[in-house]
Structure 1
Amino acid sequence: MPVALGLPPWSDGTATSSDVLGRRVDTTRVSSTAFEGTPHAPAHARKFVRQVLGEWRLSHLAEDAVLLTSELVTNAVVHAGTGVELTCRLDLDAVPARLEIEVDDHHPARTIPQTPGESPGGLPTSGRGLALAALLADAWGVTYTRTAKRVWVRMELGEGGDPREAALAAVPAGPLEALHVGVVIADRDGVVESWNSEAERLLGRPAEQAVGRSLKELVAWRGHGPYALSLADTLGLGRWRGEVRMRHLDGRLIPVYVSHLLSQGHAGERRAIWMVVARDHRYVLTPPPAPMRREAGRRIKELLDRDMPFAELLDTIAQVVQVSSGGDAAYVLLAAEDGSRFGVAAGAGATAGLVGVLATGVLGADRRTPALVDDLLAGDVELAEQLRARSLACAPLLVTGEVIGFLVVTAAQPGRFDDELTVSLQHIADQVAVPLQRERLAEQDRAHRGRLSFLAEAGELLAGVHDEELIAALTAQLVVPKIARWAAIYLTDLTGMTRLAHVWHSEEGHNAELRKSLPAIPRSALSEVSWPVGPETVLAFPLLTQGRSHGALVIGRAEPTLPLEVADLLADLCRLVALNLHTAMLYARQATRSRVLQRSLLPMRVAPMPGLESAVVYEPAEEGADVGGDFYDLFTVGDHWCFALGDVCGSGPEAAGVTGLARHAVRLLAKENYTVADILDRLNQALLEEGDDDRFLSLLCGELTPLPQGGALCTVASAGHPPPLLLRADGRVESVATPQLLLGIESGARFYVERFEMAPEDVLLCVTDGVTERRDGDKLLDDGDGLARLLSGCGGLSAHAVAERVRLAVETFAPEPSQDDVALLVIKASAVLRQQVR
């Protein structure tokens, strides 16, 4: 950006010969700057002229002056193609007082026609700038030198502003006891010739240590932007002012405000005169910023005609209002969807990191006129705390009589604003309300579509996730970096304990540091936690559903305020996350209960069988289930062992209920010394008494009684169950039971048992139909006695090895997973049974 080098008059606006050197000083104000000959030069020039005329209280001339400047600089860039110097000169002693604007280029050979626009065809394109000069300015001209060409325009001051009044209005900002006005005089080379006592008090450096030294040694000069002037170039200007840092005697750099004048002595020597004050007293040498004028409203209205993102437009309006008003902060508030609440859409200055809505007091939907509050603490403590301010001025944005928002200016001190500010603020509001509403409606439509898309993406990502930790991780990654620089998820359990579950930073290397900076277990409510102070604004959003808190989403944003639309989006996201956390909690609770109940349907452990080796494989078909429609049991009764393997028609909780009834009934009846046949009779009757015609049960039930010579006598009955297979030691495979009627079909059914002996090393294989009917297309595993052939190859294997070989055969029989429960029981007799039985 170009550096403005303007200087106001001395504190009374009429510097005279007794002010500095005992001779008359020209009271002409001059502000100069320089630009490269690029297409950006006209824009920089317009901004410079607006700033200078605003400071000189000549805003009523700004529109014409800016137009003239733009044309002259454009002509210089287009026709000369060199660097451009722009000078604004205000002569208060002239009669009448006048403003001159000069544009210098460095191509003097390019002359300018003295009668622009006089051509048969009308106004030529190349001469419109000077035609405008002839129309808008009181005088204009061109001056040529050997190295440069200067085009100037003169405008006489009319009504609407008096720069002398601005000078008289300047007051010191710091304590008067610390006010020191140093005067430093340097020659054309910047060597100090004079250093008064006030400069010594201000900078701690006596005159004898300053005189004779170059200003380059005493000033830490720092130019700004691509067009900044060096210290030597600046000393050659007629006048300038600005903030610099000068070196104290102890080496410190003191921020000071300097007003510079280039004076010519009796012998023609040129000297630079500096008046220096502490930065806090700069208004002794320059007027404070002018109050907001109607030109600020027109300037903002120009912004509305540009094609820029809506958020950037709002930010620019807030910045212009804040700078123009001189307030500590400025906000643009816009109405929420219901029209009765107003949220922060943009902020500038020392904003308070506002979130959501402000619906209290002066910022209500019924306000149709501007308002001024000298001290918010006296009437609205809540709003004062939200804004961190005492003074407030606001103006409603009205469209067809409806308040769509507010322009708000605040300050930390009470009584900072006056009625003139509210008038100016309302003028701006009137200028921007309708275009702003039009742009906002278009933006709301885009935002609504984006909001729905974002929430749909979030819903799809979180759908079916029943793990709280995973939900927390996904939520943080949804927010970062789209909405926030970092995010943290706190989760609250059923006992009310809150913990930090997950953090995510846009720069992953900062995750560990971020986790350390946040409280792992907050000792107070999340709404009352003091979050760490850093470069980001920290905001917390509760995760609430059905009146219960599941924690909070905490985010850090670089922006000081959170627009209402983003706040609403985060509120919707938090409701969605809270609902998923609630579902996950219910799912976890139900899953825990289900696991406890399901485990009660299976034996805690398989009974040890001296002289017999057993192995079990049990795999429910339903994903996540511990128990299905198949069941098994193996237990001791007196001097023998009982086993059972059953299959309930169907699957799921209903089948599991029948499973529990059957397993516990078999065990209870066996403990009461019922025979195998009686057990089947009683269980058949119990199922029929349940009254469920669709629940059938196949059951293989047996007893193993040890034999003195080794092995065991097996008594078995099969109620509609696949018959068990016996692998003899010599490799033969036999079917050792005949299937009878299913349980739960006929009340008068009677069941019988079959007996056989198991010799040492014999293997008994009992399976459910999940094994025999394992399907691959139209082919079943047991087709052609497939299971018997598989068992025949298991000679010499342990019970566990046989069970694993059969399980693997079932799993690999088809590429698709099994759709039925799988249960199998393997019992192998050993030769040591006789020695272990008492």
Structure 2
Amino acid sequence: MDTTRVSSTAFDGTPQAPAHARKFVRQVLGEWRLSHLTEDAILLTSELVTNAVVHAGTGVELTCRLDVGATPARLEIEVDDHHPARAIPPAAGLPSGEAASGRGLALAGMLADAWGVTYTQRAKRVWVRMEIGDGYEPHEPAAQAPGAPSAVPLETLRVGVLVADLDGVVESWNSEAERLLGWRADDVVGRSLKDVVAWQGHGPYALSLIDTLALCRWRGEARMRHRDGGLVPVYVSQLRTHGHTGERRSIWMVVPAEHRTVLMPPAAPMRGEAGRRIKELLDRDMPFAELLETVARIVHVSSGGDAAYVLLPAEGGDRFGVAAGAGGTAGLVGALPSGMFGPERRTPVLSDDLLAGDVELADRLKARSMACAPLLAGDEVIGYLVATAAGPGRFDRDLTLSLEHVAAQVSAPVQRARLAEQDRAHRGRLSFLAEAGELLAGVQDEELIAALTAQLVVPKIATWAAVYLTDLTGMTRLAHVWHSDERNNAELRASLPAIPRTALDEDSWPIGEENVLAFPLLTQGRSYGTLVIGRSEPTLPLELADLLSDLCRLVSLNLHTAMLYARQATTSRVLQRSLLPMRVAPVPGLESAVVYEPAEEGADVGGDFYDLFTVGDHWCFALGDVCGSGPEAAAVTGLARHAVRLLAKEHYTVADILDRLNNALLEEGDEGRFLSLLYGELTPLPQGGALCTIASAGHPPPLRLRPDGEVSAMATPQLLLGIEAGARFHVETFELAPEEVLLCVTDGVTERRNGDRLLDDDDGLAALLSGCTGLSAHGVAERVRHAVETFAPEPSQDDVALLVIRAAAALPRDAG
């Protein structure tokens, strides 16, 4: 009696073939009352048909074959294509030995009891076999097998063991095999196994004996020839193994058919449940990223789609982002729109056309068809399994049921690994950001920040990185590039746009084979540039995306500070140009030199100022010191310098200039902002030198150096400017003879401190100047500056300004 049932169909080799195949298999297995195998069978069918469509591209023939007469009963699914030259690609990511026959259909190795490939001249057939076990419910009660174990005496049990190579040549034959079949070892060793096995498969596509020997494991009924010519029903359990020299061998354990239960696997009601072996695979100890990638591959091959994703909660838990992907997932990163993915959605979703319902999601996924199922841990949605396809209408309701089933199997291991990974990632994230913060802290150079950012990312996160900076005017430029192989830096810079003309996103970077992603450098609602990275991996895990976002915020804050510092430095330079003369006016018969050093680090102007300019036939000079330093003092400096110039050009006398400047400072009403000022006028004399008219408003008096080394103070200090209204100032006049030097300084020179001692204690400045006889004005200025700098080991805390004027020798008169 033939107990084989067969149902076949055929499809065109189109992307819709896997969906049609799933529907056909579900219908057939429903008719055959194999509902407990349906989900496993659908997953296997999806993989076989997808493999045929992708790698062959021809029409597909699908056959389901049920053999209830075999022990145990079994279901076979066969898929034929018409491109035998296209071999099955190697398995990726499966443990060694997981795929039967060494070829690589991932789910076949996990779900099927056996699978294989048969090639002919015109076709290639890929098949899988599933043992039905105890879940089969036939239309009619099955008759008890003849010779049930309970009725067979144990004394008749014989367990023969034989070993054959993969060509079927017998290499070993034990004594129990001799008692069971009558053949002595000398009779069969070296002969073909075909001589003693009456091999006959079920159905037109059954395996040959040689094909069966190539399987890793096989169990089933057979008939073997007795030496007396009769046929003995037996049950065989085969295991393929390696010998000491590496050759493969097949070991057969053979028992009489009535003792089949000795070698049959024990009854296991769970054996036929869908997804059991997937769960076994995922329960193995593997890194979290590898676990998610394995789940993504399972979803990809079982759906027949273009891409598959595992989504996990983004920061905050109310949005979900890509944690792993398979297929056409390059470049996808970050959280997805929450329309179809949210913590409240607990049922599978099927969309025939995303463009009709969620355009943003369709654009992010580069897909129109989508099927997804939630990953549930208790009542909590911890993620989603998602399958997508570029065209509309690619999936059906059967796929969502399959995804739901797979999700039920993988949720527990994913949740366990996710919680452990979150703890590890949190510690690593804090450590990375702390390292980055420490490295960037206090850096005020934009270019250095860009270089440090790129080197923080490469090679820990990316193969290469580029940093674009946007200045305060909105101009963007390529600031720095860094490749894990430094030899590629020049080539990488040449391949990147120096000034991007389009938005900085992943569509703008057709560079090499890496997947390119861009992260904006944003803070306080303003863009300071973009971090662009290249990765060889197809997707960026969500935790890395969050880490890069945090890094970009940290970098943006440092860029914000650096740009503000640069702007302040620029402002100071501009202010200096307005507060200090661009050049000192040349004076016929006189030589001048100036030293100006603000005390505040990085500042260009402070509370001290100087000026030397011409008015008519005489020259005016000024040296002032505002109480305090920095920008606040600089504001008073600007008022004083420009007021002195304006009043001098209006031909006010030296005393009147001090009177009016005093009133102007009092009118400003800035209490505590006092000004010491030394102001004078130089009128050249016919015999050489100059007549000097001078007044000192609370300023250190100028010192005159004679050629013989004598030093004397040349003005009497008077009241500071800005203290008393109506104060009157008087002037003093003297001649600066040829070869004489006039030194004017601020208190940053006289009060330079070293411990409790000042530079001008005991007339220290006069002593210093007396040693400068014979020096030029520049020589005197440098000698005094160096003395101020080296007077104490620590830097000066006050602004320093000094003006040196030296009278030249008299010019000879023209003869006649």
Give the TM-score normalised by structure 1: 0.65
1:769 maps to which residue? 747
Q: Report if aligned partners of 1:451, 1:569 keep a CA contact under 8 Å in 2.
A: yes
Q: Which amino acid aligns with 2:672?
A: D
Distance 2:185 2:636 in 1: 109
Q: Secondary structure at the match of 1:809?
A: helix
Q: CA deviation at 1:576?
A: 3.2
Deviations 1:669-721 (A, max 9, x none): 22232222232222223323333331222221222222222112222222222
Q: CA deviation at 1:345?
A: 0.6
Q: Which amino acid aligns with 1:767?
A: V
1:745 maps to which residue? 723
Q: CA deviation at 1:365?
A: 4.4
Distance 2:654 2:626 in 1: 19
1:450 maps to which residue? 428
After the TM superposition, which residues 166-181 of structure 1 pair with which residues of structure 2 at under 5 Å, given as runs? none
Q: Percent identity?
A: 74
2:788 maps to which residue? 810
1:58 maps to which residue? 129
2:552 maps to which residue? 574
Q: Secondary structure at the match of 2:502?
A: coil
Distance 1:543 1:725 in 2: 57
1:601 maps to which residue? 579
1:662 alignment partner, one of 619, 640, 650: 640
Q: Report if aligned partners of 1:58, 1:163 keep a CA contact under 8 Å in 2.
A: no
Q: CA deviation at 1:777?
A: 1.5
Distance 2:524 2:713 in 1: 61
Q: Which amino acid aligns with 1:544?
A: L
1:311 alignment partner, one of 282, 289, 311: 289
Number of residues of Structure 1 aligned to a counterpart in Structure 2: 617
2:683 maps to which residue? 705
2:27 maps to which residue? none
Higher mean displacement: 711-720 or 405-414: 405-414
Q: Secondary structure at the match of 2:459?
A: coil
Deviations 1:157-206 (A, max 9, x none): xxxxx9969x69xxxxxxxxxxxxxxxxxxxxxxxxxxxxxxxxxxxxxx
1:184 maps to which residue? none
Q: CA deviation at 1:648?
A: 1.3
Q: Does 1:640 align with 2:627?
A: no
Q: Does 1:831 align with 2:799?
A: no
1:787 maps to which residue? 765
Q: CA deviation at 1:384?
A: 4.4
Q: Secondary structure at the match of 1:600?
A: helix
Distance 1:450 1:325 in 2: 35
1:721 alignment partner, one of 699, 704, 713: 699
1:509 maps to which residue? 487
Q: CA deviation at 1:481?
A: 1.6
Q: Does 1:778 align with 2:786?
A: no
1:821 maps to which residue? 799
Residues 296 and 323 (structure 1), Cα distance of their counterparts in 2 relative to 1, 3 Å cut: farther
Q: Secondary structure at the match of 1:444?
A: helix
Q: CA deviation at 1:805?
A: 1.0
Distance 1:439 1:391 in 2: 30
Q: Which amino acid aligns with 1:695?
A: R
Q: Secondary structure at the match of 2:695?
A: strand
Q: Does 1:544 align with 2:604?
A: no
Deviations 1:384-424 (A, max 9, x none): 44334455432211123332211123445666655554333
Q: CA deviation at 1:801?
A: 0.9
Q: CA deviation at 1:102?
A: 8.8
Higher mean displacement: 781-790 or 42-51: 42-51
Residues 695 and 364 (structure 1), Cα distance of their counterparts in 2 relative to 1, 3 Å cut: closer
Distance 1:147 1:614 in 2: 115
Distance 1:777 1:718 in 2: 29
Distance 1:531 1:544 in 2: 21
Residues 684 and 417 (structure 1), Cα distance of their counterparts in 2 relative to 1, 3 Å cut: closer
Higher mean displacement: 361-370 or 825-834: 361-370
2:512 maps to which residue? 534
Distance 1:163 1:782 in 2: 116
Residues 147 and 579 (structure 1), Cα distance of their counterparts in 2 relative to 1, 3 Å cut: farther
Distance 2:669 2:808 in 1: 44
Q: CA deviation at 1:103?
A: 8.0
Q: Secondary structure at the match of 1:743?
A: coil
Q: Which amino acid aligns with 1:57?
A: V
Residues 427 and 655 (structure 1), Cα distance of their counterparts in 2 relative to 1, 3 Å cut: same
Higher mean displacement: 645-654 or 462-471: 462-471
Q: Which amino acid aligns with 2:129?
A: L
Distance 2:172 2:250 in 1: 26
Deviations 1:290-323 (A, max 9, x none): xxx9777334433554443322221222234434
Q: CA deviation at 1:488?
A: 1.5
Q: CA deviation at 1:763?
A: 0.8
Q: CA deviation at 1:62?
A: 10
Q: CA deviation at 1:761?
A: 0.6
Q: Which amino acid aligns with 1:713?
A: L
Distance 2:622 2:460 in 1: 60
Q: Report if aligned partners of 1:476, 1:504 keep a CA contact under 8 Å in 2.
A: yes
After the TM superposition, which residues 114-513 of structure 1 pair with which residues of structure 2 at under 5 Å, given as runs? 297-323=275-301, 326-359=304-337, 362-373=340-351, 382-389=360-367, 391-411=369-389, 419-513=397-491
Q: CA deviation at 1:593?
A: 3.0
Distance 2:655 2:671 in 1: 23
Q: Secondary structure at the match of 1:500?
A: strand
Residues 294 and 599 (structure 1), Cα distance of their counterparts in 2 relative to 1, 3 Å cut: farther
Deviations 1:801-824 (A, max 9, x none): 111111111111111111111111
Distance 2:356 2:454 in 1: 41
Q: CA deviation at 1:355?
A: 0.9
Q: CA deviation at 1:376?
A: 5.1
1:754 alignment partner, one of 732, 740, 745: 732
Q: Report if aligned partners of 2:605, 2:634 keep a CA contact under 8 Å in 1.
A: yes
Q: CA deviation at 1:112?
A: 11
Residues 476 and 104 (structure 1), Cα distance of their counterparts in 2 relative to 1, 3 Å cut: farther
Q: Report if aligned partners of 2:569, 2:603 keep a CA contact under 8 Å in 1.
A: no
1:246 maps to which residue? none
Residues 104 and 728 (structure 1), Cα distance of their counterparts in 2 relative to 1, 3 Å cut: farther
Residues 830 and 434 (structure 1), Cα distance of their counterparts in 2 relative to 1, 3 Å cut: same
Q: Which amino acid aligns with 2:693?
A: T
Residues 307 and 528 (structure 1), Cα distance of their counterparts in 2 relative to 1, 3 Å cut: closer
Residues 348 and 721 (structure 1), Cα distance of their counterparts in 2 relative to 1, 3 Å cut: same
Deviations 1:745-796 (A, max 9, x none): 3335332222222221111111111111111222222222222222112111
Q: CA deviation at 1:736?
A: 1.9
Q: CA deviation at 1:377?
A: 5.9
Residues 104 and 778 (structure 1), Cα distance of their counterparts in 2 relative to 1, 3 Å cut: farther
Residues 614 and 382 (structure 1), Cα distance of their counterparts in 2 relative to 1, 3 Å cut: closer
CA RMSD after TM alignment: 4.4
Q: Secondary structure at the match of 1:662?
A: helix
2:90 maps to which residue? none
Give the TM-score normalised by structure 2: 0.67
1:621 maps to which residue? 599
Q: CA deviation at 1:825?
A: 0.7
Higher mean displacement: 699-708 or 462-471: 462-471
Distance 1:113 1:233 in 2: 24
Deviations 1:99-149 (A, max 9, x none): x9998899x9999999xxxxxxxxxxxxxxxxxxxxxxxxxxx9999899x
Distance 1:502 1:563 in 2: 25
Q: Report if aligned partners of 2:163, 2:250 keep a CA contact under 8 Å in 1.
A: no
Residues 53 and 823 (structure 1), Cα distance of their counterparts in 2 relative to 1, 3 Å cut: same
1:217 maps to which residue? none
Distance 2:415 2:577 in 1: 64
Q: Which amino acid aligns with 1:427?
A: H
Q: CA deviation at 1:502?
A: 1.9
Q: Report if aligned partners of 1:706, 1:834 keep a CA contact under 8 Å in 2.
A: no
Q: CA deviation at 1:517?
A: 1.6
